[in-house]
Amino acid sequence: MATQKTIVLTGASSGIGAVAARELAKIGWDVAVVGRNPERTAAVATAVGGTPFLADYDRLQDVRDLANALLSKYKTIDVLANNAGGLVGRRGLTADGHERTFQHNHLAPFLLTALLTDRLSASNARVIGTASVANRFGSVRLDDLEWKRRPYLGGWRAYGTSKVETILFARELARRTSLTAYSFHPGSVRTAFGTDTTLGRFAMQLAAVTQISPEAGAAPLIQLASNPSIDAPNGTYFDGLQAGGATTAQGNDLRLAAALWDASAALVGLP
């Protein structure tokens, strides 16, 4: 009898995360359902027979507590899916003093992955990051990771930049560790994403005709988690199910990936 596989799935209380939790549970996976909202997280965990874990990415201490809880619960972790994050419409700071989009979409998953790396490595695990086609209008500046020197413009460029960082993190994780790492764009998914901003609501209305269902958007995440063999180099960015998705030039800059790793480690207090 095959050993049950375990996935830690952040952002699992709604959208493509909730769909992925459901579909992976159907094929026998043990799902650690990580979310911010207690009621929704518990509901998804109950529905899929998984375990709920709460973490608010506005607080890096929540990430550390989450890592400790996961390490206590699971002797092996086969997949870590860093799916949590989003767009913040107005620049603000987290409890840790970092720009919120940068912390939610990059620093928090970077820290969680680092804290789980030994356990993940013991299982030859995969790490999957939810990126976005929006990476193509992002611009990583190592001298302005916190968006102090550039106009915030409703958060969209900060969001796109954080998705370049997701792609770079997967590439550098693949280079520095024994882990397998991928990032992917789920497609323009019909969810509540971005609708807490005026521009976001307008953009979602324009895109409504071409938007895909959460089930379709979750398909790349499910495939990257469950397919025994991925026919693509370690560190690859996928556009949907297609390997080698288009990125900004920075998305392939391995020197930038290494420098971003070092800067991120310093910001979260890791060696």
End-to-end alpha-carbon separation of the chain, Å?
Answer: 41
Whole-prediction pTM: 0.92
Q: What is the mean pLDDT of residues 89-105?
A: 98
Q: What is the pLDDT of residue 12?
A: 98
Task: Categorize the per-residue pLDDT at 203 as very low, low, confident or very high, splitting at 50, 70 and 90.
Answer: very low
Q: Say whether pLDDT at 152 is over 80.
A: yes
Distance of alpha carbon 232 from alpha carbon 235, whole angstroms: 8
Topology, domain 6-267? Rossmann fold (3.40.50)
Query: Of the residues 57, 74, 159, 237, which is catalytic?
Result: 159
Q: In what order do the strands lie in the sheet with 79-82?
A: 51-54, 30-35, 6-10, 79-82, 126-130, 180-185, 237-239, 242-243
Q: How confident is the model at residue 188 (pLDDT cuts 50, 70, 90)?
A: confident
Does the pLDDT at position 54 exceed 60?
Answer: yes
Going from N- to C-terminal start, the domains of the chain cover 6-267
| Residue 159 annotated as catalytic | yes
Helical (H) or strand (E) element with 9: strand 6-10
CA-to-CA dists, residue 111 to 65, 97, 208, 209, angstroms: 11, 15, 35, 37
pLDDT of residue 3: 85
pLDDT for residue 204: 46
The tens digit of pLDDT for each residue in 102-141 reads 999 999 999 999 999 999 999 999 999 999 999 999 999 9
pLDDT in tens, 204-259: 444 444 679 999 999 999 999 999 999 999 999 999 999 999 999 999 999 999 99
Share of the chain above pLDDT 70, in %: 92
Quick one: pLDDT at residue 196?
A: 54
pLDDT band at 51 (very low <50, low <70, confident <90, very high): very high
Average pLDDT over residues 58-76: 98
**The pLDDT of residue 200 is above 60:** no
Rounded Cα gap, residues 63 and 60, in angstroms: 5
Residue 173 above 80 pLDDT?
Answer: yes
Residue 71: which pLDDT band, with cuts at 50, 70 and 90?
very high
3-state secondary structure of 263: helix
